[in-house]
Amino acid sequence: MSASHGEEDSQMQLDDGLISAAKEQDSSESQSGRANSRSTSSKFANLRAAFEKDTSTDGPPKRNFARSAECGRQCQDEIGKLRDERDREEEMKIALEEKCTKLEEELEALEQQTRGQKEAGRLTPGQETNGTNEQDHEEARAPTAQSDEVHLLQQQLAELKKTISTSTRMSSSVTDSTFAQEMGVLHHELQNWIVLNFRRAKMDVAPNELCNRLEGTGDFERVAWLQQIFRVFDPSAKLAFLQCVATVFLMDVFCAELVFGLNEGEQWCAVLLKADDSMQKTLGSQAYSKWRAATVEAVGQSAVFQDHLQKANEGVADSICHSLHKLTEIDAGEGGKASLIGIIKRAASLAHLFSFQQAQYQFILPNPGTPFDAETMEDIAQDGEELSSSVISCVTFPFIIKNGDECGDNTHLRNVIMKSRVLCREVES
């Protein structure tokens, strides 16, 4: 009886040991699996974390976007202040020119009076000189005093003309650093919008399928360009590729003829664009820059143009949302579209501000497959690896080149105001 109980106790202890060992093995395997999963996930998360660094460090994307919207309003306020300052300087210029005209009239009158007195003196050489010596000296000093007054007026006139030239020469000039800062804010606003609306997109499909989805999203040249991008699509960097799509359409704002918002279907817009083409061929670069700035300013104040501009902004937003919807099957909704229109409005305001400058600006989006150029490009991947022979996979923002100085002279000068944001890959051997 007791032997039977001993055998049963021994068997129970053996079973408990086996169960405990099995649990420990399962726990070890589970921990190993989780470790491997974390290791694999971390590789894919590196680039995404770098791309979303603004939203991850400062709170939820929505809060970040709200701050970007505030930056947009600040930019609009700054542009408004610049315009008010320019208007005040124009008023000052008009007042100075009126004063200049008045001084010129006074100067001419004094010169005529001086010439008349000199001629009168030559016509009466034999005039009696029985006056007192003091009177003779006063008469002799009169032409000299008038001559001094004429000379003083000439000096005042020259200084006034110099003041007019100095006060109005750089009235609308914006520094390179200001443009770089504002364009950087625009880049981050667009990036935040992509993150906010498409970070949950599932794009685990073949690159060829994505290329097929792009059909019909734009003109042939634009679609062909985007298809080159998505042939090397990397799911771990999907947000960068999606921002590339938005940037391609945003380029319409900065590369428009004369000014973004003109509708070629309208007769007055077509005539204006034809005049712009003629002016570029006829005038020198500096004269054309002045004509363009004055024309854009005048057109921008038109209510008719503002209506066209609003429609153009909405058209770009529609194209971006439509293309991203076909790629991701995610609809940004009315709220997302409204936020995007606000970003495009900011871009249009900056494009108009660029057109007021005397210098010439180029907005260039590097082609996919182009070798990486450190002078004009910045790699957005922050993995710390330097690829020995890297080419562009996708572009999230263009680079900007300024040709000439603030006065439109020295066109041989070239300055990279902002580098393009690109994602690179190793060239296949």
Query: In this structure, what DSSP letter does residue 356 have?
Result: T
- Amino acid 71: pLDDT: 59
- Amino acid 249: pLDDT: 96
DSSP H or E segment with residue 182: helix 176-198
Average pLDDT, rounded, for the chain:
76
Q: What is the pTM of this model?
A: 0.62
List pLDDT tens digits, range 397-427. 999 999 877 766 667 788 999 999 999 988 7
Q: Which tokens go with 47?
A: 């680039």
Q: Give the 3-state DSSP-derived string for 199-262, with helices as H, strands as E and coil as C.
A: CCCCCCCCHHHHHHHCCCCCCHHHHHHHHHHHCCCCHHHHHHHHHHHHHHHHHHHHCCCCCCCC
How far is residue 134's CA from residue 138's CA, in Å, rounded to a whole number? Answer: 6
List pLDDT tens digits, range 151-167. 776 776 666 655 555 44
Query: In this structure, what DSSP letter does residue 131 have?
Result: S
Query: Is residue 416 helix, strand or coil?
Result: strand
- Amino acid 42: pLDDT: 52
Measured at the alpha carbon of residue 376, what is the angle toward residues 373 and 378, in degrees to the nearest 5? 80
Q: Per mean pLDDT, which range of 25-34, 77-86, 236-245 is the poorest?
A: 25-34
Domain ranges in the chain are: 1-51, 172-426
- Amino acid 113: pLDDT: 77
Residue in 279, 370, 266, 364 with CA at minimum distance from that of residue 309: 266
Q: How far is CA 415 from CA 5, 199, 285, in A?
A: 94, 35, 17
How far is residue 301's CA from residue 296's CA, in Å, rounded to a whole number? Answer: 9
Cβ proximity of 404 and 362 under 8 Å: no
Residue in 245, 93, 239, 226 with CA at minimum distance from that of residue 171: 93
List pLDDT tens digits, range 127-153. 444 445 555 555 555 556 666 676 776
DSSP H or E segment with residue 319: helix 303-328
